[in-house]
Amino acid sequence: MFKQLMVGRAMASDRLGETLLPKRIALPIFASDALSSVAYAPDEIFLTLSIGGLAAYAMSWQVGLAVVVVMLTVVASYRQNVHAYPSGGGDYEVASVNLGRRAGIMVASALLVDYVLTVAVSVSSGVQNAAAAIPAFRGHEAVVAVCLVMLLMAANLRGVRESGAAFAIPTYGFIIGIAAMTGYGWLRYLLNDLPQVESGRFTLAPQAQFSGGFMGLAAVFLLMRAFSSGCAALTGVEAISNGVPAFRKPKSKNAATTLLLLGVIAVSMLMAIIALGRRMNLNYADDPSQQLLLNGHPVGPGYTQNTVIAQLSRAVFDNFPLGFYWVTAMTGIILVLAANTAFNGFPVLGSVLARDGFLPRQLHTRGDRLAYSNGIIILAVMAVVLIVAFNAEVTRLIQLYIVGVFVSFTTSQTGMVRHWTRLLRAEQDPEARRRMKRSRVINSFGLVMTGLVLIVVLVTKFTRGAWIAIAAMAVIYVVMRGIWRHYDHVARELALETDEAITLPSRVHAIVLVSKLHKPAVRALAYARAARPSTLEAVSVQVDATDAETLLTEWGLRRIPVPLRILDSPFREITRPVVEYVKSVRRESPRDIVDVYIPEYVVGHWWEALLHNQSALRLKTRLRFTPGVVVVSVPYQLRSSAVAARRSAAAAPGAVRRDQPPAAVSDQMIEDEYDPL
């Protein structure tokens, strides 16, 4: 009862898609993933540059600027995407339609890996930020992160109602918090009142390879690494292209505007944080125990390094601790929300892939528990594996994160270029042609940029962990392609020929299997007679001579109007004599169908199932390979099956969506015996 209440109250989380969103609500919902990456992107830039020491730090704003350029290019490109493909298929649709099935599978595998990493990175980063405010988390980040993932999984399994407010408040809170932090920081800077962050009292020593100075090829490589890590800020931008149908009309225009807003906000936040960090002497190191020097000596492993946002907000709001807690809290919440969008997107993508035949077809039924709960569980498990394997270290997880995102960026931009080229071939109107050409230029530029970044990411990150992501993508690609091939072969095998002759069998011979004369046997006989076969015969196998005698006697006493045939069983088995007999009937009349009626006990408990129906199951399996034979299971519900009936009726959350109450199975229904004779 309680469970029914819970299932009844909870709504499927994709209900959100059924109410159209105004921009002010759509922005937080779709932007949470992209904005949340502002929480860890500046960290990554500073951290990677710290390897080169202070001289490298001086380049931090240039690296940030490069990331900004890529971000704005991607935003501009995706504005073309949302106009051209307003159906919400996102990168997958663009790639499949324009570049073919294989590109579609590639993008799909990149996206799937991406979702897992979104959860892992967002939750780990959230815990990292929270550890600044809640020191109890320190040292146990992995455990806390795993618990958070489990909570998210449980919440999504139950069916979380995604209301706009739940997203809007933390997202706007985050934006306000960061804006306030940077605004107040700049104010204090102008008033010469800007304090240092807590790591400002240290000096930053470069790592071994740069101890002689920051120059040469190694320096360039390090800058590239920092840039590719900073591109983590772009993760989540494509989410809007998946959500265009949810916008109010005009959908594409609103989506494009939201994208622009998102881009501008994200870019401003990124640059503001980097600039402020530099002004406040931020020293964020890759290996803090060795690189951060206090009075010339390394601080050692005892020192815990807080995230950039945590350090900045604590220092800027040093006389206003509420500000610090606000910023940290909002950062944590928006990261959790970003992880939650992955829990929604992953099963939806799985469902779409199942529809197209790349994943098992049964995942496509959206109301079904299968797609959602299995997808959610798989996502949570994989994220936990990653979190544990990398000990919730955001830096290491990011190495895997970016490559998937840029694979799908590059592929979708290639698809868009193809799209415009294809349309331009047919379009005559000069105005439209001009627009298309302009879009094509934008997408081409986007393609070049994302392609370059992809190469940089691969070069700089392959050995550091990107190979794991690529290996995972490759495995998923192979599996999905294999599944598609299988479905394709089967479809071709089953397709009707152009002149398919549908030959009708001439007669039906019905055989009813009885072991003893009891209620299920009588029911099976009644159902078989009701089907009006050409011939009807009851068949029993003589395993024990006395039982056969009893059966024969009773048969005669009750004058059952169906002939009874008793088969000999020299080896005390049931399956072979029956199969042999069925085959002989088929041999005598090859154009006739044989219907084999088998009574089946319906039980309530799993252990009961072990005690019944075993021979019937074996027989069914053997008969399955005999052509021209139909096996009919005649169920007989035992009293104990009421338990199972109640269980199966209450279980499906799909029933909630269809507004059906769970079926009531009464014992009265079991009691009502159907006595056919």
Which spans of this chain sit near another protein (rule: CB under 8 A)? 537, 542-546, 548-549, 552, 555-556, 559-561, 563-572, 581, 588-589
- CB-wise, 318 or 544, nearer to another protein? 544
State the minimum distance, in angstroms, from the CB of residue 103 to another protein.
55
Q: Residue 589 or 633: which CB sits closer to another protein?
A: 589
Q: Which amino acid is at 134?
A: I
Q: How far apart are CA 191 and CA 179, in angstroms?
A: 18
Closest contact distance (angstroms) between CB of 584 and another protein is 8
Least distance to another protein from the beta carbon of 530, Å? 19
> How many whole angstroms separate alpha carbon 336 and alpha carbon 33?
9
Q: Which amino acid is at 255?
A: A
User: Using CA atoms, how far apart are residues 646 and 443, in angstroms rounded to an integer?
Assistant: 56
Q: Which is nearer to another protein, 401 or 555 (CB)?
A: 555
CB count in 10 Å sphere of residue 150: 13
DSSP state, 401?
H
Q: Residue 639 CB, nearest distance to another protein (Å)?
A: 32
Minimum CB–partner distance for residue 575 and another protein (Å): 15
What whole-number distance in Å separates Cα of residue 613 and Cα of residue 619? 10
Output the smallest distance, CB 7 to another protein, in A.
53
**Residue number, 327 or 585, with CB nearest to another protein:** 585
Type of residue numbered 172 = Y
Beta-bridge partner residues of 293: 203, 298
Which contacts (CB < 8 Å, 24+ apart) does range 260-264 have? 260/75, 260/79, 261/23, 261/27, 261/31, 262/27, 262/30, 262/31, 262/34, 262/35, 262/75, 262/237, 263/71, 263/72, 263/74, 263/75, 263/237
Question: Judged by CB, which is closer to another protein: 14, or 592?
Answer: 592
Least distance from another protein to the Cβ atom of residue 548, Å: 7
Which ranges of 160-293 would DSSP assign to H, the alpha helix?
Answer: 164-190, 216-230, 239-242, 251-279, 288-291
Let me know: does 474 contact 108? Beta carbons within 8 Å.
no
Query: Which CB, 124 or 542, lies closer to another protein?
Result: 542
Smaller CB separation from another protein, 131 or 585: 585
> DSSP assignment of 237-272, as one string?
TTHHHH-GGGBPSSHHHHHHHHHHHHHHHHHHHHHH
CA-based nearest residue to 110, from 125, 90, 80, 83: 90
Q: Which residue has the tokens 């009691």?
A: 671
With vertex at residue 649, the alpha carbon angle to CA 648 and CA 650, rounded to the nearest 5 degrees, is 95
> CA-CA distance, 553 to 557, in Å (whole number)?
6
Backbone angles phi, psi at 235, to 5 degrees: -65, 130
CB 57 within 8 A of CB 214: no
- We find the least distance from the C-beta atom of residue 526 to another protein, in angstroms, to be 17
Tokens of 206: 């470069």
Smallest gap from Cβ 99 to another protein, in A, equals 57
DSSP state of 192: T
Closest CA to 197 of 324, 87, 112, 93: 324
For another protein, give the closer residue by CB, 542 or 641.
Answer: 542
Give the residue among 141, 120, 119 at the shortest CA–CA distance from 130: 141
For residue 569, give the amino acid letter. Answer: S
Closest to another protein by CB, 416 or 585: 585
Residue 456 or 566: which CB sits closer to another protein? 566
**Interatomic CA distance for residues 196 and 283, integer angstroms:** 10
Least separation in angstroms between CB 535 and another protein = 11
Backbone φ, ψ for residue 589 (5° rounding) = -135, 85
Question: Between 92 and 555, whose beta carbon lies closer to another protein?
Answer: 555
Tell me how far, at minimum, the Cβ of 556 lies from another protein, in Å.
Answer: 4
Shortest distance, CB of residue 563 to another protein, whole angstroms? 4
Interacting residues of 657 by C-beta distance below 8 A, sequence separation 6+:
12, 367
Is the Cβ of residue 155 or residue 508 nearer to another protein in the bound state? 508
DSSP character at residue 293: E
Q: Which residue has the tokens 């106009």?
A: 83
Q: How far is the CB of 537 from another protein (least distance, A)?
A: 8
Residue type present at position 202: F
Q: Closest distance between another protein and the C-beta of residue 498, in Å?
A: 37
Pick the closer one to another protein by CB: 229 or 540. 540
Token digits of residue 161: 């109602």
To another protein, the closest distance from the beta carbon of 554 in angstroms equals 10
Question: Which one, 9 or 565, has the nearer CB to another protein?
Answer: 565
CA distances from 633 to 47, 520, 616, 617 (A): 67, 11, 9, 10
Cα 215 from chain centroid?
44
Comparing CB distances to another protein, the nearer of 365 and 569 is 569
As a whole number of angstroms, the distance between CA 92 and CA 349 comes to 9
- What's phi and psi for 455, nearest 5 deg? -65, -45
For the CB of residue 588, give the shortest distance to another protein in the complex, in Å. Answer: 6
Instruction: Considering the complex, state which of residue 273 and residue 536 has its C-beta at the smaller distance from another protein.
Output: 536
